[in-house]
Structure 1
Amino acid sequence: MKKVAFYTLGCKLNYSESSSIGRMFAQKGHTKVEFNENPDIFIINTCSVTENADKKCRKIVREAQKINPDGYVAIIGCYAQLKPKEISEIPGVDVVLGAAEKFRLADLIDTFEKTTSGQPAHVIASHIDQAIEYHTSYSLNDRTRTFLKVQDGCDYPCAYCTIPLARGKSRSDTIENVVKAAREIAARDVKEIVLTGVNIGDFGLQNGERKETFLELIQALDEVEGIERFRISSIEPNLLTDEIITFVAQSKRFAPHFHIPLQSGSNKILGLMKRRYKRELYVERVVRIKELMPDCCIGVDVIVGHPGETQEHFEETYQFLNELDVSYLHVFTYSERENTAALAIRPIVPKNLRAERSKMLHILSEKKKRFFYETQIGKTGKVLFEDEIQDGQMLGFTENYVRVAVKYDPLLINETKEVRYDYINTESLMEVSEIHEEILAH
C-alpha cells in the first residue's frame, strides 16, 4: 500500500475533486498523508485561470522531488487538460491525466512505472469532448466547511476564458445524488456546505437535456437535516433569478451571501467579453437582494485590463462599483490565454496599466468590506468557529460572511454560536464582546 499526498491549486471545485480522489485511494487501502510526509505518490491538481499555472506546477514538482526523489508524480486538473504535452516534459513528472481520465487515477496508478531521467511523462488525455461523465465530489476533513460539487463544465464561451476547453460542456449531478451526498456529509458532523461548480446556476443539464433546475436543488437541500447552513459559492447574474433570491431570503438554511461575477461595469466591455447580461441587470439583482436581505453580503468578480478596456471604460467600472451596494471584490488581472477570442481584440492594455487598475480596485474592495462590516456593528449573527488560530484568537464566518475573531477556546471549534458584533480590529476582523450562552474574557 502507498502513501499518497495531494497539492491542490485553484478553486473550491478542485478541492472537492482532490478530496474525492483521495477517498478513492483510501478505499483501495492507500494512506493519505501531507505533502511533506515522504509520500510514495504526489498528486498535483492544477488550475489554468492565471498565467502562472506553468510556474506553479514546476515549483511544486521540484519540491516533490526534494521530499522524495523516488516518488511518483501525477498531474491532473485544468492545466493538465489544456497543456498535457508541455507538462509531460517537466522533469520529474511521471503521468499527466486529462479531464476525462483523472477520476480513474486510483485504478490506473498500479500500472504506471516511474519515468527515467530525460523521458517525457506518460500522457492519458482525451479531447475535451470526451469529458461527458459527471463525478460526484465533495471535500472532507480538510476544513470546517465542505465544498460540494453540484455541476461541472460550462457552455458560456466568454472571450477571456479557457474553462470550457479545460472542463468541457455543462453537466450536472441529480438532485437525488446531491441530497444523498449532503446527508453523508451531515453524518460526519459538518455544519456548513458550500455548493460549488463551474456554472452552478446552469444546474440541471444531464446528457445535454435540462432535467432539473438550481431552484429545485436548493429547495430540496433546504430540507436536509443536520446541516446548519448552505452557501452558494458563485452564480452568474443572468441565472440568479428573482425566485432564487426570494427563496434564499426566507430559507431555513441558506446563508444571506451571494457571490455574483460582474467582470466589467462597462456595457461595451461586457459585450467584448461575450458576457450574457448588461450592467443594468446586475443592478437589478443587487437592489432586489438588498430589498429582501438588507444585511446580505454580496461579493463581486471583476477583471481589469481586458483587451479593448480604455481608461474611460475602467473609470466607468470603478464608478459603477463604487456606487453599488456590494461588500467586497475579487479582482483578477487579465492574462492572455491561448485559443481564446480575447486575443484578437484591440487595443491591448499594457501590463503596467493592468497592475495600476488592479491596485485601485483592491483598495476599493477594502473600503467596501470595511463599510459593510461597520454596518453590522451592534447587530448579532451566528458564527461557525474554525480550527484556525491567529495571534491567540480563533476565527470563523457568520452566515453573512463577516469574519469574526474571539479568544481561543477549543470547545468552540466547529460550533455555531450567536455573537454580537463589537468593533473591527487592526486585522480587519470583527471582534465580539459577548457570545450568548458563553462569556469570553478578553
Structure 2
Amino acid sequence: MLSRRRFLKTAAASTLCLTAAPAILRAKNLNSRLQIAGIGCDGKGWSDIQEMSTHGMTDLVAFCDVDLARTEMVHSLSPSAPIFQDYRELFAKQGDKIDAVTISTPDHMHAIIAIEAMQRGKHVYCQKPLTHSVREARQLSNLATKSGVITRMGNQIHSHAVYRNAAKALQTGMIGKVKQVQSWCQSTGHGKSGFIDRPKTNAPIPKSLNWDLWLGVAPERPYGLQDVYHPFGWRDWQDFGNGALGDFGCHILDPVYTGLKITAAPISISAKSTGMNDEVWPAQMTVHYVLPGNDFTTDGNLEITWMDGGLRPSLQGTHIPPGTALPSSGSLVIGETGTLVIPHYAPHVLYPSPDAKANVEKFVAEPSLNHYHGWVDGCLSGQQPSDGFDYGGRLTEAVLLGNIAVRFPGQKLEWNADQLKVTNLEAANKWLSRDYRSGWKLPETV
C-alpha cells in the first residue's frame, strides 16, 4: 500500500504543467540498459509494464497513473521507482533519467502524452488504437519519423505466431490473389459499461483518483459511478474511447493489412448501425472500406467489410462449406483459389477450392515473437521493428474513419489521405480532430 505521505506528496504536484515543448531530440539511451517509465499502471498497463520487466536489459525507473490505487502492483516490480499522478510532472522531474515510456491510458490521452515523449527524445510503446482522432494519428506518425525514436503500437498479437502465419499464408499466395475481406467482432459498441446515456446519479470520487487528470483533454463531466468510465467502461463513450471498432479493429485487421501489405489509405468509407446518440457507440456497426488494389489483390479495388456486435459474414461466395461454424471474431479473406479464416487469436484455417494447387505441406510456420521484447531490442539497437507508428498510424486512421462514417449512415465518404480530408461531405471533417479542454493543448509537431 502507498503511504499517506507518499500519496499526498504525489497528489499535490498533479497540476504541474510544462510551459513549452522542447525541440525534437533523437533518442539516446542513458546507458546499456533501457530506462523505462510506465504511464497507466493497471489493467493493460500492468501487463505491458510487467512484460517489459521480463527483458533482461530493462530498468523500471518511474510510474504514473491518475489513480494512485492502481500503482500498487507496478510498485512491487520496482519499489524504489517514484510514482506520479501527472505525466507532465514525470517528464519534468524524471525526463533526464528515462529513455522510453509505455502508454496504456484511455484512448483520449494517447496522443498528447506520446507527442511530448517523442519531442523529449523518448522511445514510445503506445496501446492501440494509437490515438482518439484521425488527425492525432497522422501527427504521431509524422513525428515518429522526424524524431528518430523507436515506436511500437500495442497490438501484441502482431508478433504472435497465429497472426504472423496468417499474414505469411496470404503473402505466399496460399489462396491466390485476394478478392474481398470480411472482418467481424463479437463485442458490442457499448457493452463494457452497460450504459447508453450518462448516469443520473453521482458517486463520490475515490480519494486515490484525480478525476480532472483522468478527464485530461476530454470535455468536463461528473465522475458518475464506479466502472461507468473509470477504470473499465470508458471505451463505450465517444469522448474517451472508440467502441468495438476502436478496441478490436487494430487487432483483427492487422494480419490482413500485414499479409496484403496494405500501405494505401481507403478511397471511400460507408457505414450503417443500429443507431447512436451523442454519448456512446452503436451496439452494432457495419463499415465498408474500399482501398486501392495491389500486387496481392485481384484487378480493381480491394473491399473490406467490418461488422461488430455479434454480426457474422455470410459464407456465400467463399470456399467454405455451408453450415461451417465461424469463430466469434476474425476475418474471412476470399481469394481466387481458396478462403482463409483468420480467427482472433487462434491459428488460421485454409479452405482451398477443389482445383487449388496450394501446397500446404511446404508452408514453414513462423514462431511467436515477444512484441514487448522486440520493441526493447529496437530501442537498444536503433532498429525500428514492424508495427511502428508509421504502420500503426495508418491502421488507426482507417479504423477511426469507420467511426466517422457511422455518424453519416448510408453516405459514402470519399477520402483524400494526402489532404487529410473528406472531399464530398464537409460535415464529416469536423470529426477528424477534437477540441481539447481548456488548459490542455496538443504540442506543435512541425
- Measured against the shorter chain, the TM-score band is under 0.3
- When the two structures are superposed, what TM-score results if normalisation uses the length of structure 2? 0.27
